[in-house]
Structure 1
Amino acid sequence: MSKHDPILLFASRLLPKQKAIDASALYAWCRRLDEITDSDTTQLSIKQQHLIDWQERFVQLYNGNPVDNMDAALYQCLQRHESLTDEPFLDMIAGMKADAVDNRTISTMDELEEYAYQVAGTVGVMLLPLLGDNVTLSKEPAIALGKAIQLINILRDASVDAAMGRIYLPQDMLEAEGVANVDVLGLKSSVGYCNVVEKVSKRAHVLLIEAEMGKSTLPGVGPVFVQIIVELYRGYLVRLEEMGFDNLNIGGERVKVSALQKIMAALRALKDI
């Protein structure tokens, strides 16, 4: 589940038992939403209707009428954590609806960050009540982490998304560099294109720093898994820089780091705690 991994997975493995169960309930709900958006149906109107149905089902769940056992698990989680409202769930669905269109593009960096909040920053907001009481104090760093993860995943997936007719880099930034959509969709890189990737990469780096600086507001194991995620995703940015920010000429695959690099990122994180 690329959109919501790794935050909820780390949480479900590192938190105390009951909170880990609650994190798993959040993960299951997000995963099922992913399955709707990633379904094989080519009729976007059908996908949009499925998302509308899912939203109505969540409202029903939130009001105390879960449909199945997984919905019931999420309802119990919501009951245990009164500060966990319906807002991040509905915001996430809104982000998924925005994706269920032909020739997906994003106009500006502000729009990109709003989308990144909707599909990933919301995960941090969902998780905060499970971690402790400082929800207000910790909210902005949690959102920053989710947004950074999504921006970096967009940069990692650029060639994969282009093959599906999707361009998530801001249109105004591409136009300012003289980059045409037809070239991006054709996986034709250029100096201008790489400049845009670099600018988005720098913004993601700033967001990682914001998340890192705010991790001390989290109780328990919160700072540990935030630092692990920060180090891992910082590694992806380093890899992008090593590639000259050319994320199109990689054979239609994701930008990756090795298993050893992931282990080293975890060790660096543990050293810094």
Structure 2
Amino acid sequence: MMQTSTGIMDPQAAAHHAAQIVKRSGTSFAAGMRILSRERREAMYAIYAFAREVDDIADEGGTYDERMAGLKEWRAEIARVYQSAPQTAVGVALVPAIRRFDLERGEFELLIEGMEMDVEGPLIAPSHARLMAYCRRVAGAVGLLSMPVFGAGRGDIEDRYALALANALQLTNILRDIDEDAQMGRVYLPAELLNAHNITTRDAAAIVSHPALQDVARSLGREARGWFAEAQALLVHLNWRDVRPALLMMGVYERYLRMMEERDFAQGTPIKLSKPAKLGIALRYLFVPPRAPAGKGA
């Protein structure tokens, strides 16, 4: 549940608290955040810490009523944050980020909506439209909040890039975590793809053990690949140096997708990257921007 701060927490203590949440999470996104200036890095830590807090409530917050109440508390906290009256450490950390980078309140609320979708579900074989609505909330919102913090700002191209990359990352994450999600009773694979491959059951365990699951994953993998291609095509209209943290994330998750493609989306040992492999990707994407595929445009 949401942890309330006592009294008015010092902003630097709050920033340290957010940074510790990022550190404990072991997220692949941490490397991208660390290359930012202190002000931008602390803003990203605050955004990620908020996302981690609400995600933990959706996944581990107790009963349905307790989890929905926890998310409702965060809705109220976001309202207080925008009134400069936060009551949590993460809320205190968010205030300067919102002021400095003019972050939109609606994106924080959309992220909470995405967590509510998980609690209300669990999502099992959602329609493709519902899956993409979920991606917009849990990944797209973070992408759009991140762009001004990175230094890219907001605009048509910037927003399209952020959302395309968010879709690519989220679909790749779904494909990588099929078994893990099923253990929580969730199957994010869209109903249309399951039906097309004659998987009509809506039992999570039965879906992931179905012999046609590999065909479904392969199809969704092609969609994820298409979103990566769109993000790369849009990148030519941006200053790649302004989105270097996003490029690091893009590089790691594109490698995850490629590894799944190389084994033709066969299920089995979870896909993982070693620290040296991640470092190699980070160095490449820090200094050499990925090129858009020939013939691709925005």
Shorter-chain TM-score above 0.5? yes
**Which aligned pairs between 1:120-199 and structure 2 lie closer than 5 A?**
120-132=139-151, 134-136=153-155, 137-181=157-201, 184-186=204-206, 187-190=208-211, 192-199=212-219
Distance 2:117 2:25 in 1: 15
- TM-score normalised by structure 1 residue count: 0.86
Q: Size of the alignment, in residue pairs? A: 265
Q: Does 1:20 align with 2:41?
A: yes
- The one-letter amino acid paired with 2:133 is E
Q: Does 1:265 align with 2:284?
A: no
SS at match of 2:225: helix
**Which aligned pairs between 1:85-104 and structure 2 lie closer than 5 A?**
85-104=104-123
Are the counterparts in 1 of residues 114 and 138 from structure 2 also a CA contact under 8 Å?
A: yes
Equivalent position of 1:111 in the other structure: 130
Distance 1:102 1:38 in 2: 12
Gaps of 5+ in 1: none
> Could you give the per-residue CA deviations for residues 141-197 of structure 1, whole angstroms, max 9, x where no partner exists?
01111221111111111011112211110112101211143675144142x322211
Q: How far off its partner does 1:94 sit?
A: 0.4
Distance 1:131 1:260 in 2: 25
SS at match of 1:181: coil
> Could you give the per-residue CA deviations for residues 8-47 of structure 1, whole angstroms, max 9, x where no partner exists?
x344311112111211221222222222123252x21221
Equivalent position of 1:239 in the other structure: 259
SS at match of 1:139: helix
Q: Does 1:211 align with 2:211?
A: no
Alpha carbon RMSD of aligned pairs, Å? 2.6
Distance 1:40 1:90 in 2: 18
- TM-score normalised by structure 2 residue count: 0.79
Distance 2:25 2:171 in 1: 11
Q: How far off its partner does 1:211 sit?
A: 2.0
Identity value in percent: 27
- The one-letter amino acid paired with 1:34 is D
- The one-letter amino acid paired with 1:97 is E
Q: How far off its partner does 1:97 sit?
A: 0.1
Distance 2:277 2:79 in 1: 42
- The one-letter amino acid paired with 2:232 is E
Distance 2:232 2:264 in 1: 25
Q: Structure 1 residue aligned with 2:54, among 33, 42, 51?
A: 33
Distance 1:162 1:133 in 2: 37
Distance 2:144 2:73 in 1: 23
- The one-letter amino acid paired with 1:124 is G
Are the counterparts in 2 of residues 11 and 20 from structure 1 also a CA contact under 8 Å?
A: no
Equivalent position of 2:4 in the other structure: none
Are the counterparts in 1 of residues 32 and 244 from structure 2 also a CA contact under 8 Å?
A: no
Q: How far off its partner does 1:244 sit?
A: 2.4
Runs of 4+ in 1 over 6 A off after TM superposition: 1-4
SS at match of 1:138: helix
Gaps of 5+ in 2: 1-21, 290-298
Distance 2:87 2:113 in 1: 21
SS at match of 1:22: helix
> Could you give the per-residue CA deviations for residues 46-91 of structure 1, whole angstroms, max 9, x where no partner exists?
2112111211221122222211343122112111122x11111111
